């Protein structure tokens, strides 16, 4: 089996409710749908979900460009798509960074291999460890009264942890968490993701105020800029709230530095950040060896965007025991549960199932996802052209 064609299709997906965080306001997803065609008629697919210049410097333009100009012509065309280890290694030799783009190629290759063998991707990753994953729910920046109401609904729907995104105003963000804790009571499990926006002084003072006010956060995620691993270690040594790394923990050498410096109590993974399923397994091995718990974030995206991570989480024994966040499709549809079939309003007709705060991986061959071709045609981008690469 050989790869004969690669397509990068730009799509805009409207959201029912904007995603608001301190650095951006997202009303539609700017995504790339990837198709890798083989000479045996099997097509592997992947979805970038919304791209994020502020998070890891990639956009739909850069993803489409690097795949079409470098990865497809120099690595994929003519290659056996089941040689995933070989292709991932070649991508890292020929293209520096661009992990989001690489993760899509990796996902589509796993989709091809699973379809060729007639098994779900989780079987390629070792088989199921659990039937479903406990999930947390992410709330965007909003006034305290709104956050309290939305958190109560998510907790009632079965979600185990609520994560908050702060507003841009520092003092308002600190006070909001104090009011939210008072409104939700002591039993709710709460955490906050700063996305690296604070400096050391801001993070230290906020955590001390929260600890004095008994906000009792489950954890604070990436309180300092991604490059300040030393600062994360200093902060962790002076506060009682667990400090977790996300943007700081991308490549394996960065995770090793975090471990060596004792800079985090836990690690956040995204398959898009790690560079795909194969590299995520290496990533999780380091976390396991260090004894660091792992939570998984996601990009806002379709059932197709969420599917690779869903397969990884139900398969990986270390990750499966912790609460995870792979809930991108819920943000498209603005719901707490999703049956995973007969979907409309996104690029996939099906995806992971979400019920009672738990996520179930798709069961079909490969990623188990069927594309919504009508939606793709109707929502194709007019700002970015479709890129097609053939032999």
Mean of pLDDT values over 243-251: 96
Q: Rounded to 10 degrees, what is the CA torsion of 180, 182, 184, 189?
A: 80
Residue among 83, 79, 45, 51 at smallest CA distance from 65: 51
Mean of pLDDT values over 310-316: 98
> pLDDT band at residue 209, thresholds of 50, 70 and 90?
very high
pTM listed for this prediction: 0.96
Per-residue pLDDT tens for 96-135?
999 999 999 999 999 999 999 999 999 999 999 999 999 9
Pairwise CA distance, residues 354 & 17, whole Å: 19
Mean of pLDDT values over 310-320: 98
Residue among 377, 375, 313, 367 at smallest CA distance from 340: 367
Q: Is the pLDDT of residue 255 over 80?
A: yes
Residue in this structure with the two tokens 């024994």, named with its chain if needed: 317
Mean of pLDDT values over 22-26: 73
**Three-state SS for 123?**
helix
Per-residue pLDDT tens for 84-99?
999 999 999 999 999 9
Res 22: pLDDT? 67
Q: Is the pLDDT of residue 297 over 90?
A: no
- Lowest mean per-residue pLDDT among 144-148, 160-164, 328-332: 328-332
Res 8: pLDDT? 98
> pLDDT band at residue 228, thresholds of 50, 70 and 90?
very high
Res 25: pLDDT? 74
Q: Is the pLDDT of residue 195 over 80?
A: yes
Pairwise CA distance, residues 26 & 331, whole Å: 11
> pLDDT band at residue 24, thresholds of 50, 70 and 90?
confident
> pLDDT band at residue 298, thresholds of 50, 70 and 90?
confident
Instruction: Report the 10 Å Cβ neighbour count for 317.
Output: 11
Pairwise CA distance, residues 131 & 199, whole Å: 41
Q: What is the 3-state secondary structure (H, E, C) of the chain?
A: CCEEEEEEEEEEEEEEEEEEECCEEEEEEEEEEEEEEECCCCEEEEECCCCEHHHHCECHHHHHHHHHHHHHHHHHCCCCCCCHHHHHHHHHHHCCCCHHHHHHHHHHHHHHHHHHHCCEHHHHCCCCCCCCEEECEEECCCCHHHHHHHHHHHHHCCCCCEEECCCCCHHHHHHHHHHHHHHHCCCCCEEEECCCCCCHHHHHHHHHHHHHCCCCCCEEECCCCCCCHHHHHHHHCCCCCCEEECCCCCCHHHHHHHHHHCCCCEEEECHHHHCCHHHHHHHHHHHHHHCCCEEECCCCCCHHHHHHHHHHHHHCHHHHCCCECCCHHHHHHCCCCECCCCCCCCCECCCCEEECCEEECCCCCECCCCECHHHHHHCECCCCCCEEEEC
What b/e readout covers 166-205, taking b as 16+ CB neighbours within 10 angstroms? bbeeeeebbebbbbbbeebeeebbbbbbbbbbbebebbbe
Mean of pLDDT values over 180-207: 97
Pairwise CA distance, residues 290 & 184, whole Å: 34
Per-residue pLDDT tens for 325-360?
999 999 899 999 999 888 899 999 999 999 999 999
């Amino acid at each position: 089996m050989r790869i004969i064609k690669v397509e990068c299709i730009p799509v805009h997906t409207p959201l029912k409710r904007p995603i608001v965080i301190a650095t951006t306001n997202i009303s539609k997803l700017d995504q790339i749908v990837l198709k890798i065609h083989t000479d045996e008629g099997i097509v592997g697919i992947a979805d970038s979900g919304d791209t994020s210049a502020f998070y890891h410097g990639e956009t739909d333009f850069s993803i489409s460009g690097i795949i079409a100009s470098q990865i497809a012509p120099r690595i994929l065309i003519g290659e056996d798509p089941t040689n995933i280890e070989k292709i991932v290694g070649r991508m890292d030799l020929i293209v520096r960074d661009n992990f989001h783009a690489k993760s899509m190629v990796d996902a589509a290759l796993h989709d091809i291999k699973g379809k060729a063998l007639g098994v779900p991707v989780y079987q390629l990753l070792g088989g199921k460890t659990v039937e479903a994953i406990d999930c947390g729910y992410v709330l965007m920046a909003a006034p305290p009264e709104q956050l309290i109401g939305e958190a109560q609904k998510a907790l009632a729907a079965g979600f185990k942890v609520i994560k908050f995104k702060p507003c841009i105003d520092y003092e308002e963000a600190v006070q909001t968490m104090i009011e939210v804790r008072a409104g939700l009571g002591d039993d709710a499990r709460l955490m906050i993701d700063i996305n690296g926006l604070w400096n050391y002084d801001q993070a230290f003072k906020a955590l001390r105020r929260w600890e004095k006010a008994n906000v009792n956060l489950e954890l604070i995620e990436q309180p300092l800029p991604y490059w300040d691993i030393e600062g994360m270690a200093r902060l962790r040594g002076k506060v009682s709230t667990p400090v977790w790394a996300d943007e700081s923990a991308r490549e394996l050498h960065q995770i090793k530095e975090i471990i060596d410096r004792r800079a985090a109590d836990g690690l956040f993974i995204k398959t898009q950040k790690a560079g795909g399923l194969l590299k995520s397994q290496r990533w999780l091995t380091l976390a396991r060896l260090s004894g660091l718990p792992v939570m998984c974030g996601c990009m806002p995206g379709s059932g197709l965007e969420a599917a690779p991570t869903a397969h990884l989480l139900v398969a990986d024994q270390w990750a499966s025991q912790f609460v995870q966040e792979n809930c991108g499709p819920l943000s498209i549809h603005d719901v707490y549960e999703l049956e995973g079939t007969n979907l409309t309003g996104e690029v996939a007709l099906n995806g992971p199932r979400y019920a009672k705060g738990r996520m179930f991986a798709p069961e079909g061959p490969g990623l188990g996802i069927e594309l919504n071709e009508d939606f793709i045609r109707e929502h194709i981008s007019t700002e970015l052209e479709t890129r097609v690469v053939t032999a």
